[in-house]
Structure 1
Amino acid sequence: MRRLATVLTFYNSLLPTVKNPPSLVLERNTDVHFPVPSFLSGSAVTMADRRVKRRLDDSSAWSSAVSASPEIKSPEELENYVIREDSILVALRPEQQKAFAEKGFFRKLVKNHKKALLTPCLKDLVVPDGVRCFAVNGWDKLDPDLRELIKAEAVLYHEFIHTRTYQDLSLDECLRLLGDSHGVMVSFETVGHIAHLNLPNERLWAKHIIAKILLDKHKHIRTVVNKVKEVENEFRTMELELLGGDDDLVAIQHENGHSFQIDFRNVYWNSRLIRERERLSDSFYMGDVVVDMFAGVGPFAIYAAAKGCLVLANDLNPTGTRYIEINAKLNKVSDRVFAHNGDARQFVEEVATGDIMDKRTTVYRDHALKPENKVHFVMNLPKDAIEFLDALKGLAKGVPADNVRTCMVHCYCFSDADNVEADIDARIHKVLNAHISKEITTVRDVSPKKHMYCIEFNMPKELLCDG
């Protein structure tokens, strides 16, 4: 182990100068997530003399071990793709691997190919007891001194040609076949069995190839769609193009112990808001009343009902309202969720006035209320929600100020202003004609300059009582 410590100290001194190291592929013991640099796998750096150190310090000694892949122009070309790689099998003792793992060397450079050792030329290879095997791809691209170092220090050294087809490649490796060595960056949202893409124009040529890769390489995906244009209609639904798989856009999304049935073509859903749903639900307590003015299929409503809240949920889209009821039943909270279909202003006037605003009300729709229970107004319509804040004015008219429940507003908005707080202040003041003490939370990035925010504040009682 003293010799190994010397190896690690030596390698540590080289870290700042090492660029573009060779590709390391974990070939055996795939449950281990800490591969080690194979050229340091021996018990001592017997060749680590000044000449080798100079070569290691010279960044030109490290060339990329993976050549830029030829472009794939069709699903058929992808299906028939074959690559032959010169590889070297090396072995490490467990104590070496443990020491390297503690240092975290090369952890992020490993590509896990579980089937590699099934290569016919390796099936009969005798591996010494107590060692783990790794492979270095792009052997011919390594500096000659490094190759000699590996040969001298590896417990086991074996050259072989590794042939892989499209079926052997990972999802990320397949995407790299579509362009240069940096690959094609493809982000997608999953909704149950659906992969939802939002491809930029420069990637549209590859849309059917990308769909094939996702369907073949992601075991849970059965349908791939691409958003054709931005959301513009009043129901916040998208125009989608089916790129591959089943034409089935009704999915079940599982999230934090909740299940949501979603008609992705006809209702609004955003999987990226999962953290925001968690965060907001932390502000709900058993017995609180949650008024969800723009509920969609009911994600906030279901989270709140699961916390023991009484939920009044509304959506303008009748399909959305139907799925609120479906999801309440699916999550066994139907007795606490009341769905409504219509305009948000009318909804608030009908259900959120008088009784629920009064601390003296002890029962509402067969649900017990306590004076300390709050009323939460959730307004998840970022494009326009601020414009609806005036619908809350006067909701407690006729209720003595001392008896008005605490009314918490959670209002979402977009802003691309340099001074976000000033922008939001001005917009709220324009609607409420009042300056509000509030907290602003950044929810997500919409574009490099545009962001989504949640504005949270206690609605002033004078606005609730007098309007």
Structure 2
Amino acid sequence: MFNKSPIPPIFFKKDLNALVRFTSTVLTPVIWFRQKSTRAISLANQSPISPPVNREMRALDRSFFKKQITVIAAVFQDPTFLSKFTRHAKNDYLQLSGVNHIINLPLENGETTKAVLLRHDIDNLNDVPSKVSKKSLEILQEAKALLTTHTLSLDYNHWRADEILHAILPECLHHEIPTGFTTVGHIAHLNVRNEYLPYKNLIGEVIMDKNPRIRTVVNKLDSIDSKFRTFSMEVLAGENLFQVEQNESNCKFQFDFRKVYWNSRLHTEHGRLINQFKPGSAVCDVFSGVGPFAIPAGKNRVFVFANDLNPESYKALMCNITLNKTSSFVNAFNLDGAQFIKISPHLLLDYANKEKFIELPIPKVHRTSHNKDGGKLLANPVSMAIPKVFDHYVMNLPGIAIDFLTAFRGLYLDERLSVMTKEEGFQFPIIHVHCFHKATLENRNPSTEEAILSLKERISQSLGYDIPISALSTHYVRKVAPTKDMYCVSFRLPREVAFATLV
């Protein structure tokens, strides 16, 4: 094939000061090389190829973002040298996202040949000997490589979202371009700052273009409502489609994102608590939402009583129980949180006394399992006793959850419940209360110890009992805002609170 090529080979002479003249009939008629001492150039130090700039753009014009760059293509007459070069010259061949460094180079006779594109900062044939590494140069010399120029055409699809937005937005807004977002199903959820609002639709379109799974981009318009934890939103790009399906903890969740609360950033926290729930135990999820704690726990054969005041959350929770086949373990309620806490021990006790146990699906028997007479073996039915007391309470409503701790006062005063506390092995439930700690004007950078002490005082006030700080297990969840952190404080319900006399 190479014998038919009109391109003559390029020879590098050993004499470093020698000038070698050769002819290329493809692109460049006459080219001169001066061979010099070489040095390796790290890709990390190379400047990326930036897109064309238009800071006056207000409606996204994708056709504007076109750019042509000249690179050098190396053709190896012996294909084994092509493989050798790509193995040993990683710092010298083209490494641009979405662009293959090995191409089919067209020849004048209509055929094509494989070629390796060199780094994008090498755009002149005369610069090759001085810019590639010593090892790369040796391979090119040994292979008697043939070099020529090649034009790469880049378009809108080549650049990342942040690169496109850098080319559109004013330079004064480059410090914190809003390319980060939370994904909920097919929706990208942004919190666009005021200074970026004139460009919000541009930002939305670019983000949707650069993330193929995103079909809708929304911007949060106001703070989260404290009652149902929902917020107003506007569509920046894509469809007005808010019914989503979200996968988490090997479960599927379906809901209308406008009408319920969901925070994908809490998936690690969901998993952390779920892993503490033992199969066969009972958990009371006071502010369950659509079920990110309840459904996976139910799949793990944990009995969950899940409650949410929002009718839309309750409706989605019921749907997700069915969708994930957890109806044997998850029961849903639509009550006020304080009311639910107060009646929860009675709900579980009545349920356990009535049902006593549940039968689990019979495991599949291996087809080759037979008894000694040749008959197939049948698995025995499996049942699980329903517990009469809760092991855990989950209170994931960080804005006001601490206030609901007052509902635990006197929770076990009822004789039916107090009798159970005398049984051997009885333990009061562990309460996991999620809460925020905000910096104050007096203390803008509180330490972890100061935050824990503040949370301890607030919890004690709601419980009506000065709980020792040693009884608290505090877990830092995440930073919600520069001066606002989210924690989960876990503690066992104190006997003094469980039997507190109600005024």
TM bucket by the smaller chain?
0.7 to 0.9
* Equivalent of 2:434 in 412, 426, 433: 412
Whole-angstrom CA distance in 2 between matches of 1:430 and 1:97: 68
CA contact (8 A) 1:65 1:139 kept: no
Question: Matches of residues 50-449 of structure 1 in structure 2 within 5 Å?
Answer: 64-67=47-50, 69-71=52-54, 73-89=57-73, 94=83, 110-114=95-99, 126-127=113-114, 133-139=116-122, 147-149=130-132, 152-153=137-138, 155=140, 157-179=147-169, 184-353=177-346, 356=349, 369=385, 374-397=390-413, 398=415, 399-400=418-419, 401-403=421-423, 404-417=426-439, 418=446, 419-432=450-463, 433-436=465-468, 437-449=471-483
Assess, with a 3 A threshold, how the Cα gap between structure 1 residues 69 and 347 changes in structure 2: closer, same or farther. Answer: same
Whole-angstrom CA distance in 2 between matches of 1:428 and 1:143: 74
Assess, with a 3 A threshold, how the Cα gap between structure 1 residues 227 and 297 changes in structure 2: closer, same or farther. Answer: same
Q: Secondary structure at the match of 2:422?
A: helix
Assess, with a 3 A threshold, how the Cα gap between structure 1 residues 390 and 135 changes in structure 2: closer, same or farther. Answer: farther
Deviation (angstroms), 1:126: 2.4
Structure number with the higher helix fraction is 1
Root mean square deviation of aligned Cα: 3.7
Letter in 1 for 2:461: K
Whole-angstrom CA distance in 2 between matches of 1:289 and 1:165: 57
Q: Secondary structure at the match of 1:127?
A: strand
Structure 1 counterpart of 2:374: none
Q: Secondary structure at the match of 2:456?
A: helix
Deviation (angstroms), 1:371: 7.1
Q: Secondary structure at the match of 2:328?
A: helix
Stretch of structure 1 that moved more, 404-413 or 110-119: 110-119
CA contact (8 A) 1:224 1:242 kept: yes
Structure 1: gaps (5+ residues): 1-45
Stretch of structure 1 that moved more, 439-448 or 76-85: 76-85
CA contact (8 A) 1:291 1:378 kept: yes
CA contact (8 A) 2:50 2:163 kept: no
Assess, with a 3 A threshold, how the Cα gap between structure 1 residues 96 and 160 changes in structure 2: closer, same or farther. Answer: closer
Q: Secondary structure at the match of 2:458?
A: helix
TM-score (norm 1): 0.75
Whole-angstrom CA distance in 1 between matches of 2:434 and 2:480: 13
CA contact (8 A) 1:90 1:158 kept: yes
Deviation (angstroms), 1:365: 7.1
Structure 2: gaps (5+ residues): 1-34, 76-80, 359-383, 440-445
Deviation (angstroms), 1:87: 2.5
Structure 2 counterpart of 1:460: 494
Deviation (angstroms), 1:212: 1.8
Deviation (angstroms), 1:243: 1.2
Matched residue pairs, number? 404
Q: Larger relative contact order (C-alpha < 8 A, sep ≥ 6)? A: 1
TM-score (norm 2): 0.70
Q: Secondary structure at the match of 1:345?
A: helix
